[in-house]
Structure 1
Amino acid sequence: MRFFNTEGPVRAEDHYVLPPLQRWDLGDVLALIEQKKYFLLHAPRQTGKTSCLLALMDYLNREGRYLAVYANLETAQAARENLALAMTDIVQTIAAEARLDTGEQGLAELAEDVLAHNAPTRALRAFLTRWCERSERPLVLFLDEVDALVGDTLVSLLRQLRAGYRQRPSAFPSTLVLCGVRDLRDYRIHASSEAEPITGGSAFNIKAESLRLGDFHPEEVKTLLGEHSLETGQPFTPEAVERVWHLTQGQPWLVNALAYESCFRMPEGRDRTKPINRALIDQAKEQLILRRVTHLDQLADKLREPRVRRIIEPMLAGTAMDVIPIDERDYLVDLGLLRRVNGGSLEIANPIYREVLPRTLASGPMDSLPQIRPSWLDAAGNLDPDALLNAFLSFWRQHGEALLGSAPYHEIAPHLVLMAFLQRVVNGEGSLEREYAIGRGRMDLCLTYRALVLGIELKVWRPGAPDPLTEGLAQLDGYLASLALNSGWLIIFDRRPEAPPLAERLASSLTRTPAGRAVRLIRA
């Protein structure tokens, strides 16, 4: 029986699959190959890049005009900037992959001879030249995980490929495709992620195109889920299909992971006589987040990078990003953390990432939380907003300031501690959704617990700024209107050095928005 794939390239005999060659414009790709172009393919991790390259390799080899070879260069990353070791690994990897995938003979011996008689800065070029000279068909070479290489290793690889470019197709690959997560636009090479470039200008100015493999479209999500229904007879309800699309925005790994979790791991989903409904998809989402599956864990690990923090922190705080260089913003788009919408504005790529990022950042405060008795529940187990308010004020009075130091992003420490507290409140029985308001100085939270829906807006009173109360009430009006609510909370965290002590300023009062909605104002 086939299943939804979440590990490595797809195999049609094992996995539900969308035909990889249909995920990009094959006509355009074949035109680039026909024109002997060198180009890039990039996309975030686990979106299907390798599957597409392998499918294209098989297509070209069956067609017979070209000799197509795929090689993954990731193992050379371990050599770092040991150029001799890295080039040995790269040359031997290409030779071994060519033999396994196409049956090419004699390449291991050729690699050994080239490595013995050429400097590391010439070895790859010499190997490709001699191979192409003896080949009966033009070589189309796919090099995957190129951006895993760093420093001098990457510089040398690109320089050698550029040096042999004019000899194609008789003595160098006719077409070369470099594949990775990032679109290395100018191939500015760094010794590390934060170092200054170690090359001047472009090290690879022969690329014709940078192709980006996109996420699934809504119809593709429906088609992929339908593969399971056709094979097993178990349908996804229309609401479940829509929920998968909404939560993932078509991110391929997330689509497959939600479907696999709901159909193959959860006991309710393994009963093929029952449809997969929206509730199962929501449970699957929560399980993936709680288990910190590898894909989400790797994504969250990026939050430690300074250039990621420089963007995610103001996004969460609702402050502007106009001083952040565009290449740093593009880096997060390449990683798949962000996406551009409405002509270029940035937002978190999908609702699951939108939930994972702040929950990851709030994990330190959450682990530091003291034991809290759930005094916010009534006798029937429903959430009482007034009791929740009292519990929060008591918690913040006793522990708020002490926990701020456990938050990894200082500028949004109050937000993270509050989210840790509220995550403890929902505790699997409800949900906490976050809305980012870039450039508008706020964060919006929607707490749902059974029948209760509570809209909360967070504002920070920063040094040198006026009291954000008036602005916050106007903004909360719009947020509550979007939730179809007539009341909500406005929490203002006072971060001014001259602010009164917490014991004096912590208080709540009732007020109203300009449109007359009831507001519980909390100053913390």
Structure 2
Amino acid sequence: MKPFIKEFKMNYQPPKRRFEKSGFVNPETAYYVPLENVTNTDNEDMKTMVDHGRYFSIFAPRQSGKTTFFMTFSMELEKDSNYIFILMSFEDCSNYSSHQFYTYLQEEIYEQLLHRLENIECYQKEEVKTFLNGHTLIDSASFFSLFKGLNNIITQKKIVIFIDEFDGIPVNEIENMLTTIRKLYQKYKKHTDKALYSVGLVGIRNITQLVVGGVSPFNIADHVEIPPFTLQNIRDLYQQYTQETNQPFTEEAVQQIYEQTQGQPWLVNRLGTILTKQIKPETIDPIEIDDVNKAIQHLLQEKNAHFDNLKEKVLLYKKTFNKINAEQVKFLPYDDAQSWLYQYGLIRKQNDLAVISNTIYSKCFSDVSDQMNHMTEQKKKIFISYCHKDKGWLGIIMNYLKGLEHEDIDIWFDKKIKTGEQWNPVIADAIQTSHMTICLISQDYLNSDFIRTKEVPGILNKQKEGMIVFPVLIRNCTWKVISWLKNLQMFPGDG
């Protein structure tokens, strides 16, 4: 007679943590895996670059886990009491005046600096506080003198500044800020003790944006990219859930998630939530490949802020996105449309080709062009391109055009940019969706770097698709020697 053996069966246990979708991932409340291979082209990790006092750019698409990475990195860095880590974001700064911008810089830098000095019980804290109380940030020169002064007080401390969403910096301050950072770098690059020890700029689409006057403190080799999850990262993430609940993911399911998401952190976490909360909740039955396919269909049909945000970005560059989605397109990092799509995490480089970042994005945004065409058929739009020094003329032109708005024609100029929106993509979208552009031509207009490098290329590209370009000469200038203008009929008459 066989002895009786009680069969042991694991029961489902409620999870103690969750799959996090955005913001800082606290390992105590959410499943977390550290990102791997965050290195530059010389295979140096970020800690090594900071230790060597490097100034570098960091590529990190939105919803890529960068917030968690930076917070984790700062905690690791500040185990050394000589480091002072300051993290700022220029995301909401694009519409700031210079005064507002430097006020924001002062608040962020001073608060984080003093808080860190308090935590490490720095004996020069009071001297630093006295210096800061007498030093107001009002322009790039005062930004330079801030660190020059700190360098005389806390030479043994190393201030590391990471600036997220650097593209959100006010347009009129880009050159000032980069020039000042370059001056600080050059002045102290041979010093082992320097206050502004290392700088990381996040949100730079390509390294040429960091070059001012032919010189840059940012080495191309030091460009760092925050990578997506690897297949092993995804295994480890889901295994944490399994250990808490006893519900496993089959290897085929994990591989399917990796293939469909290419490791995009938001997608991986969102699918984890859908699978465990809606497809197979509160059970130890394994999550299989069919469950993953159901979860993907659910994800594609749901409304969420992540997709809504990306859809807006696709609309800005729908022609380029659709071309990449439909055919083989060479990856061109300095192409404006591709570089924006790359920064938003919508495309990636595969060999020498630009490809949609993952299958889910390809499916989700494949019909955006049709939606946009329907929208633009409903209402015509006129884009007004002008220099801010000529805003008086804008008022005169608007007085003549005002009546057109009653005929369902939208008159668009930069005052319609909402607070918090980034200028570059919004203006690019306005040009892309316009049927006509009126250019208010003056010498200030021709001298504007922003108009020349940002607006005019978009206007000319849209002109090739049939948009009307109508230049209006408001003040005498050298327009006849400008290649894109000299072949256009100027109003009035021949200028």
> TM-score under structure 1 normalisation?
0.60
Provide the rounded CA distance (Å) in 1 between the counterparts of 2:98 and 2:216. 16
Matched, 1:16 2:31: yes
Provide the rounded CA distance (Å) in 2 between the counterparts of 1:248 and 1:132. 46
Provide the rounded CA distance (Å) in 1 between the counterparts of 2:47 and 2:225. 16
SS at 1:178 equivalent: strand
Matched, 1:164 2:184: yes
Matched, 1:114 2:129: no
Matched, 1:60 2:77: yes
Matched, 1:91 2:91: no
Provide the rounded CA distance (Å) in 2 between the counterparts of 1:127 and 1:69. 16
Query: Measured at CA, do residues 74 and 285 of structure 1 come closer, stay the same or move farther in structure 2, by a change above 3 Å?
Result: farther
- Residues 361 and 407, structure 1, Cα contact 8 Å, conserved in 2: no
5+ residue gaps, structure 1, are 190-198, 369-402, 409-524
Amino acid at match of 1:349: S
Name the structure 1 match of 2:3: none
How many equivalent pairs are there? Answer: 352
Provide the rounded CA distance (Å) in 2 between the counterparts of 1:13 and 1:323. 41
Provide the rounded CA distance (Å) in 2 between the counterparts of 1:7 and 1:249. 18
SS at 2:354 equivalent: strand
For residues 368-402 of structure 1, the C-alpha deviation after alignment (integer angstroms, 9 at most, x for no partner) is 8xxxxxxxxxxxxxxxxxxxxxxxxxxxxxxxxxx
SS at 2:208 equivalent: coil
SS at 1:347 equivalent: strand
Query: Measured at CA, do residues 236 and 157 of structure 1 come closer, stay the same or move farther in structure 2, by a change above 3 Å?
Result: same
More divergent stretch after superposition (310-319 vs 6-15): 310-319
Provide the rounded CA distance (Å) in 2 between the counterparts of 1:57 and 1:244. 30
Amino acid at match of 2:205: D
Name the structure 1 match of 2:275: 262
Provide the rounded CA distance (Å) in 2 between the counterparts of 1:323 and 1:241. 32
- Residues 186 and 202, structure 1, Cα contact 8 Å, conserved in 2: no
One of 291, 311, 315 as aligned partner of 1:280: 291
Matched, 1:73 2:89: yes
SS at 1:62 equivalent: coil
For residues 289-346 of structure 1, the C-alpha deviation after alignment (integer angstroms, 9 at most, x for no partner) is 32331222111111222xx2341233355486799964543432232211222x2112
- Residues 328 and 353, structure 2, Cα contact 8 Å, conserved in 1: no
Name the structure 2 match of 1:123: 142
For residues 417-444 of structure 1, the C-alpha deviation after alignment (integer angstroms, 9 at most, x for no partner) is xxxxxxxxxxxxxxxxxxxxxxxxxxxx
For residues 246-288 of structure 1, the C-alpha deviation after alignment (integer angstroms, 9 at most, x for no partner) is 2101111111111122223x1x432133322333323332333
One of 94, 103, 107 as aligned partner of 2:118: 103
SS at 2:134 equivalent: helix
Give me the CA root mean square deviation: 3.3
Amino acid at match of 1:92: E
Cα drift, residue 233 of structure 1 = 1.1
For residues 74-95 of structure 1, the C-alpha deviation after alignment (integer angstroms, 9 at most, x for no partner) is 3651543x11210110121122
SS at 2:249 equivalent: coil
Provide the rounded CA distance (Å) in 2 between the counterparts of 1:183 and 1:232. 42
Amino acid at match of 2:143: L
One of 38, 49, 62 as aligned partner of 2:55: 38
- Residues 91 and 165, structure 2, Cα contact 8 Å, conserved in 1: no
Cα drift, residue 351 of structure 1 = 0.5
Higher RCO (CA-CA < 8 Å; seq separation 6+):
2
SS at 1:250 equivalent: coil
- Residues 50 and 144, structure 1, Cα contact 8 Å, conserved in 2: no
Identity of aligned residues (%): 20
- Residues 330 and 352, structure 2, Cα contact 8 Å, conserved in 1: no
Query: Measured at CA, do residues 323 and 351 of structure 1 come closer, stay the same or move farther in structure 2, by a change above 3 Å?
Result: closer
- Residues 4 and 256, structure 1, Cα contact 8 Å, conserved in 2: yes
5+ residue gaps, structure 2, are 1-15, 120-124, 381-495
Provide the rounded CA distance (Å) in 1 between the counterparts of 2:134 and 2:280. 57
Provide the rounded CA distance (Å) in 2 between the counterparts of 1:242 and 1:283. 15
Query: Measured at CA, do residues 156 and 292 of structure 1 come closer, stay the same or move farther in structure 2, by a change above 3 Å?
Result: farther
Query: Measured at CA, do residues 362 and 127 of structure 1 come closer, stay the same or move farther in structure 2, by a change above 3 Å?
Result: same
SS at 1:300 equivalent: helix
Question: Any residues of structure 2 matched to 1:90-489 within 5 Å, and which?
Answer: 90-100=105-115, 103=118, 105=125, 110-115=131-136, 119-135=138-154, 136-165=156-185, 166-167=187-188, 170-180=193-203, 182-187=204-209, 201=214, 205=218, 209-264=222-277, 266=278, 268-305=279-316, 308-316=317-325, 318=327, 326-341=335-350, 343-363=351-371
Query: Measured at CA, do residues 102 and 225 of structure 1 come closer, stay the same or move farther in structure 2, by a change above 3 Å?
Result: farther
